[in-house]
């Protein structure tokens, strides 16, 4: 299986688990000094290896005929600040986004081990901008997950398995916090 096919397995999984919508969210993986990244404006479940884009750490397209995601600045800004990071996943997961700082990270015992950090919360900044890229990269200098207010979620990992798992853990934490809150009001 090629690197592109292996990468797409995770993109499809993220879509079918409901973390990505047809056109929102983006995924990248670092290979040496190059970054394999999803293209802009292409339906995620139908992406082919040929539609993926290879860029360098300045965002220049090395291979591929499509444009990279409009959030490419965020991906390269993170790789530049975190040499240990091999994959970046950005989703528009609704529940963690609306709950943001209200998520209780202590509610599921395994979460701390999987996340390896707190969940950073980044104030709203217009998507696709250099300002957002810098703010997210700064928030992820000491954290592995960030919630972007009114926008979505970013998780990093040494590889795609670790980054994708962190997205799923944050989604679980948001759900668990919501369930616990609702149940505590019912018990009154
Ligand atoms: Zn986004």
Distance (angstroms) between ligand 1 centre and the Cα of 152 equals 6
CB-CB contact of 121 with 147 (8 Å): yes
Least reliable range by pLDDT among 58-62, 112-116, 144-148, 169-173: 112-116
Q: 183 CA distance to ligand 1 centroid (A)?
A: 32
pTM for this prediction: 0.96
C-alpha 103 to ligand 1 mean position (Å)? 20
Residue in 133, 134, 135 with CA at minimum distance from that of residue 122 = 135
Query: What pLDDT is stored for residue 16 in this prediction?
Result: 97
pLDDT tens digits along 84-125 = 999 999 999 999 999 999 999 999 998 989 999 999 999 999
**Active-site residue numbers?**
71
| Band of residue 70 on the pLDDT scale cut at 50, 70, 90 | very high
Q: Which two tokens stand for residue 178?
A: 């919501």
The CATH number assigned to the domain with range 3-187 reads 3.40.225.10
Which tokens hold the place of 147? 């919630």
Q: What whole-number distance in Å separates Cα of residue 68 and Cα of residue 53?
A: 6
pLDDT at 188: 67
């Amino acid at each position: 299986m090629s690197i592109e096919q292996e990468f797409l397995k995770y993109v499809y999984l993220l879509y079918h688990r409901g973390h990505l919508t047809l056109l929102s969210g983006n995924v990248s993986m670092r290979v040496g000094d190059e970054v394999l990244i999803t293209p802009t404006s292409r339906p995620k479940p139908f992406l082919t290896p040929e539609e993926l884009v290879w860029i360098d750490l300045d965002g220049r397209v090395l291979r591929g005929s499509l444009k990279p995601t409009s959030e490419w600045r965020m991906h390269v800004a993170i790789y530049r600040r975190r040499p240990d990071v091999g994959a970046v996943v950005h989703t528009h997961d609704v529940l963690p986004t609306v709950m943001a700082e209200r998520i209780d990270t202590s509610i599921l015992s395994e979460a701390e081990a999987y996340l390896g950090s707190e969940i950073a919360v980044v104030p709203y900044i217009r998507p696709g901008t250099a300002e957002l890229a810098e703010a997210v990269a700064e928030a992820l200098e000491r954290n592995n997950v960030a919630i972007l207010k009114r926008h979505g979620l970013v998780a990093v990992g040494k590889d795609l398995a670790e980054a994708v798992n962190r997205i799923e853990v944050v989604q679980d934490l948001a759900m668990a916090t919501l369930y616990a809150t609702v149940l505590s009001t019912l018990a009154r």
